[in-house]
Structures are given as structure tokens and as C-alpha cells.
Structure 1
């Protein structure tokens, strides 16, 4: 599928800001199943930018504004072509016990994706779920699929029920949240079970055009979407979307990775100003016809 994506972030200040520094993880990676046809990032007011690749392999654009300004806008536009990528049935058929042994032999490469973070603690309520969905003799793929389904069924998607500061134990307790929370729950269970897993920030086609391919509406956001990638014994990441109870496919576009939402945030920064600040984000994702 071919998609045209526009991601706009607008900052407004109560009083003019004297400085602003922004990190934007808005450069889509080229992947198996994801071709970057076109891509651009525009900052207003205009200023010099630099770029680097962070610890998790994300391409970061750094923007530095040292002049007074009353508003700041970041507009990311991209055209992305997606295609199906076959899952390795052999890797998903390996037992959980054997998979853990393989991951242990690669611990240097996978260590960060097995550790708890402030946003994704391990243990606690995740311990019961880890034991339930990942017994030693179960095929890894079955455990991943069952966990994905359980989060979808047991947690209610409720917009506005949480924010970035809501601790995960609150999400466990209220059994409600948004895609970020669903992904953090899944990461907590997987890491508790000894399965390396990472957070993915990207876009989802939540409202497809009426067509003959049978695409149905998916639960997503007017901003970015979040899902999870788990490591398989073939040392390949495989993506699951617990918000929609499915393996990720051609309607998902990946932007950035990390241990949790903080590592993969599309835009974050600091400002020097004496007034208040408001941020608005809008994402449009439109399917294009390929002639």
C-alpha cells in the first residue's frame, strides 16, 4: 500500500520564548516491508538543524532556535510504501524455554530490551501473566498471540484516561488506557517472561477508504500510534498491535524504537520563556492509489 502522511506539531506561547531546542524522531526507517518514497521535515521559524543516530538506531533531527519567537511549528511529510512480510513459522514454533536459552546466548545485544524502566516496571501483576501466557513448553508464537489478545480483551481503550505521567500500576488497576499503555503492559509482561521486547512509535491507518479489500476501521489516534516488537529465536523482531489484537501489517508505518515511549517520542524539547505553552498535534494518513 502507498500512504501519504502529514504530522504537524504546533507550539504556542503565552509570551514570546527566547530559546527552543527540539529533538525530532520523525525520519521513517527503510525496512523490509517499508519503503520511504519521499520524506521532509520543516521547522518554522527556520533555523539551522543537525542530525544524528541515537542509541536505538533512530535518526534524530536536532533543531536550535535562539531568537525570540511566539510560535513554533514542525511539519513532517512522507510518502511510504508498505508490503507484507512473512513471519518465520519455524522461529515462532520454538518453545518458550528454548527461546529463552537462545536469548541468553545473545544477552549483550538484547540486555536493554529485557530491563525494566521507569515507565515499564517488571514483576508485580506482570508476573502472573508471564507465567500464564509463557509456560516453558508452549510455542513462542502462541504465547505472543494469546497475550496480544488478552490485553485487547481485558483492557478498555479509553481516550484521555491516562497521560504520559500515569504509572503502569494505575493502568493495571483501572484496566483502561490508550495505545501507549497497552504497549507498556505488553512490554512489562514480555520482559518479565524473559522475552526481549521494544516499544514502537509510528502511524496506523485507522480509517481506511471504502474498498473491495475488506479493510476495517482500526483503533488509533489523531496523533501517533504505538505497538510492540518481540524478538524471535531467529534474531528477528516481530510486531504485534495489542490495541487492535493483530500482527502488524501493511497499515502500520514505523517511525522510531526504544525501551518505552520516552525513547521513541516523535518530538520532545525544552523552551525558555516566562509564559505558558500549549502544544497541538495532528496526523493525517491517506491511502494513495498506485497506477
Structure 2
């Protein structure tokens, strides 16, 4: 059961003072059996009062206001977490679609997560379904085949998509990063009526060569009958293991945006993101990026569930 120290700083700098900054954050580690929170310290400019609540998906949300004039907003999270994902889940991964349908019929929440988005290129999704679906295979095997297909036929390329990129566009150019692969996989699995949800978090391998190491990351969780939610990472074509730390879940990315809000003032903002992951052997990964943002629309929407800072937009 590895332990990770994760230091994550989101810093907004304004070229002139702004006021009435209203923000919502989802940077608290997700409460689940697969991870144990040993420490979590959160520091915010001005030490504002925080309203905390749990949303529909089980995410812990924090809301705060910074009304006084300020030229900088820094949100700093220091997390120590121990992951406890079961190593061997193969014995419960042989359940089929008949049992899945029985479990879905007893849960409106699961039923909601079987409904794909309305997109123009649904026929391309149906073609993927035709290539991966075999009625005699288990639900877990079908989920694995979907991950394998995306890993094999979609190119991992940074910088060619952003948070506004649609599934239609991803299907068209067959490339992107973790967020894009997760959204395509959700569309395929929901077309197959497999309840699935988007997950944001971190991937923390120690020099294992996985895509997204030490950075914010995104993957998928699917409902496996007689087991429950199980994560799979199509960016690396692996079932989620003790290297993944979960922050939030939802129907798609918009339900998991770690920081978003508004402010008053005609200022241009510069956004900086720092993430470091410390391992038990002393190894540490560090990355700091500046994000270009458009001037003065009064919105700040930091979305660090992707592989590079160039995807963090207003």
C-alpha cells in the first residue's frame, strides 16, 4: 500500500486588482475504500470562510468568496494519501450482461449513467461497439476491450485539443490526451448500456513510463456486476491500481472541474499550475506551467484533469 505526498498549487495573477471573486473547488480527495487520507491541508489567499458540502456524485465541494481587492489568488493543496486498491479482482470479473441489467433495474443512479451523449458521429461509436462487443464476454472483458481499442487506435498527442473539444472532434482526428480518451470511452460504454463515469485525479507511478506520470489525470470507472465501480485508464490501457489517486467523479469533465469561479474587474489573468508528487523512496516529480488565458471576461475555470497546462482554460 504505497503512500504519496501530493503538492498542488493553482495561482491566478491579475494585471490590476479584482474584487468579488466567487469560487467553487473540487480538490478534496474522494472518500472511498480504495484510498486512505492521512493528511490534507488547504491554504487559500486571504483565508476565506469555506462552505463545504457533498454533491450528487459524492464529491466534496468547497465554496468561498474573496470580496476585497486582490491581485493574486493562490489555492494550495498538500495531500498525503495511501492507496489500497485490491491487487487481484479477477475472480469477480466474470459476471455478464444479464446480471448487469438486473442491477441497473434496481438503481436509477446506474440507469442515468448508461445514457450516451447526443453526438453527430454516433455511427462511428457504433462501429467501435461492433468491433469490441461479443455477447458471450463478461462485462469486465468488454470494458477491457474498449480500453484496448482506444489505446491502440487513438494517438496520444498533447496540445491539439482543449477543454471545449467535443467527442465528435476527437473521433474525427483520433487523437488527444487523457480527458479525450475518457470521454470517448464513456460514449462507447454507455452505448453498450454499461454504467460508466468520469474520474479526475492524479497518476503517481515511480518512473514506470506511464503517460501522465506525476500530473493531473483522467480515467473511467465502470460498474462491474457483483463487484461495483472499477476504474480503468484508457490512456495507459490498465485497470486502475495503487498508482491512481481519485479526486472527483461525475457524468463528464464538467462535473469534476477542480477550480472554477468568477471575479469582477477588467483584468487580464495569468494562471500558473504547480504539481509535485513525492514517493516513499524519496523520488519526487515536479512540474510548473503557465497557462495562457483570454483577457477580462471575469471567469476563471481551472480544469487540471488533463496532461498539460495548455489545456487549462477559462
TM-score between the two structures when normalised by the length of structure 2: 0.84
Shift of 1:123: 3.3
Q: 1:132-281 to 2 correspondence within 5 Å?
A: 132-206=131-205, 208=206, 216-220=208-212, 223-234=215-226, 236-281=228-273
| Distance verdict in 2 for CA 1:192–1:166, change over 3 Å | same
How far apart are 1:4 and its partner, in Å?
0.2
- Residue number in structure 2 paired with 1:283: 275
Alignment partner of 1:151: what SS? helix
Instruction: Tell me the CA shift for residue 165 of structure 1.
Output: 0.6
How many residue pairs were aligned?
281
**Aligned twin of 1:213:** none
Deviations 1:68-87 (A, max 9, x none): 11110100110001134145
Name the CA distance, whole Å, in 2 between partners of 1:225 and 1:113.
21
Structure 1 unaligned spans of 5+: 210-215
Q: Distance in 1 between matches of 2:125 and 2:213?
A: 26
- Give me the whole-angstrom Cα distance separating, in 2, the residues matched to 1:222 and 1:288: 14
Q: After the TM superposition, which of the residue ranges 280-289 and 194-203 deviates more from structure 2?
A: 280-289
Q: What is the CA–CA distance in structure 1 between the aligned matches of 2:197 and 2:50, rounded to whole Å?
A: 28
Rounded to whole Å, the distance in 2 between the matches of 1:151 and 1:87 is 24
CA distance in 2, matches of 1:121, 1:264: 24
Q: Deviations over 1:126-178 (max 9, x none)?
A: 12222332232222222111111111111111111100111111111111101
- Quote the residue 2:114 is aligned against: 114
CA contact (8 A) 1:223 1:281 kept: no
**Pairing of 1:49-64 with structure 2 (within 5 A):** 49-64=50-65
**Counterpart of 2:122 in 1: which secondary structure?**
coil
Distance 2:137 2:53 in 1: 41
Q: Secondary structure at the match of 2:147?
A: helix
Which residue in the other structure is 1:72 paired with? 73
Tell whether the 8 Å contact from 1:117 to 1:260 is kept in structure 2 after alignment: no
User: How far, CA to CA, are the matches of 1:107 and 1:267 in structure 2?
Assistant: 30
Aligned partners of 2:246, 2:12: CA distance in 1, in Å?
24
Counterpart-to-counterpart distance in 1, 2:237 and 2:55:
30
Answer yes or no: is the 8 Å Cα contact 2:26–2:259 preserved in 1.
Answer: yes
1:6 & 1:183 partners in 2: Cα distance?
A: 24
Q: Secondary structure at the match of 2:21?
A: strand
Q: Gaps (5+ residues) in structure 2? A: 283-314
Residues 182 and 99 (structure 1), Cα distance of their counterparts in 2 relative to 1, 3 Å cut: farther
TM-score for both structures, normalised by structure 1: 0.90
- Cα 1:105–1:122, aligned 2, differ >3 Å: closer, same or farther? farther
Q: Rate the CA distance shift 1:121–1:66 in 2: closer, same or farther, 3 A.
A: farther
**Paired residue for 2:301?**
none
Contact 1:25/1:59, CA 8 A, preserved across alignment: yes
Specify the SS of the correspondent of 2:235.
coil
Query: What is the CA RMSD across the aligned residues, in angstroms?
Result: 2.1
Residues 121, 55 of structure 1: alpha-carbon distance in 2 compared, 3 angstrom cutoff? farther
Deviation at 1:280, TM superposition (A): 1.9
The answer to whether the 8 A contact 2:9-2:75 is kept is yes
